[in-house]
Amino acid sequence: MTVIYPGTFDPVTNGHLDIISRASGLFESVIVAILENPQKKPLFTPREREKMMKETVKNFTNVNVEIFHGLLVHFVRRKGCRLVLRGLRAISDYEYETQLALTNRKLAPEIETIFLPTSTEYSYLNSSAVKEVARFGGCVRGLVPSMVEKNLQKKFQVDSQTEKS
């Protein structure tokens, strides 16, 4: 069975990678679906997020990366798929995630959402915190793949140069 793992992935962290790597061992194939949602004002463009994700998962032969916009259930149906995967960090994720899962079930009763609990070492990790640390020059080594670390540095260097000029 194919599972779809949707998210913003702005940028991909080692927590996301942990979920993807475990899902890759559990399912026939995994589609990582990157949401193009301009309302969220992401730091990285959909293409940049896709490029970083592709590089991150390049060693998993059964993992593919795609960009989608609009409703997740429409994308899942277009792919002929019935399973959505989400990661759960803490109890705080639970309320939001069940709300999302129930809304999706209402829209598309044939689609099920399943949850994988995070590995404990990544339970505190999220993309927003990573961006905040990197923005102010903190070290994000070990929190994100090294290529993402470089991209964060580049992004914030460009930003601070534009602010100065």
Contacts with ligand ADP by CB under 6 A lie at 7-9, 13, 15-16, 19, 86-87, 89, 93, 118, 122, 125-127
- Catalytic annotation, residues: 16, 40, 89, 127
Q: Name the residue with the smallest CB distance to ligand ADP.
A: 15
DSSP 28: S
Whose Cβ is closer to ligand ADP: residue 68's or residue 122's? 122
Whose Cβ is closer to ligand ADP: residue 95's or residue 163's? 95
Name the minimum Å distance from CB 165 to ligand ADP.
32
Helix (H) or strand (E) holding 56: helix 46-56
Closest CA to 137 of 125, 121, 149: 149
Whose Cβ is closer to ligand ADP: residue 15's or residue 46's? 15
In sequence order, the 6+-apart residues with CB closer than 8 A to the CB of 24 are 30, 60, 62, 63
Phi, psi of 158 (to 5 degrees): -60, -45
Query: What gap in Å lies between CA 94 and CA 144, rounded to an integer?
Result: 23
Name the minimum Å distance from CB 152 to ligand ADP.
15
Name the minimum Å distance from CB 23 to ligand ADP.
11
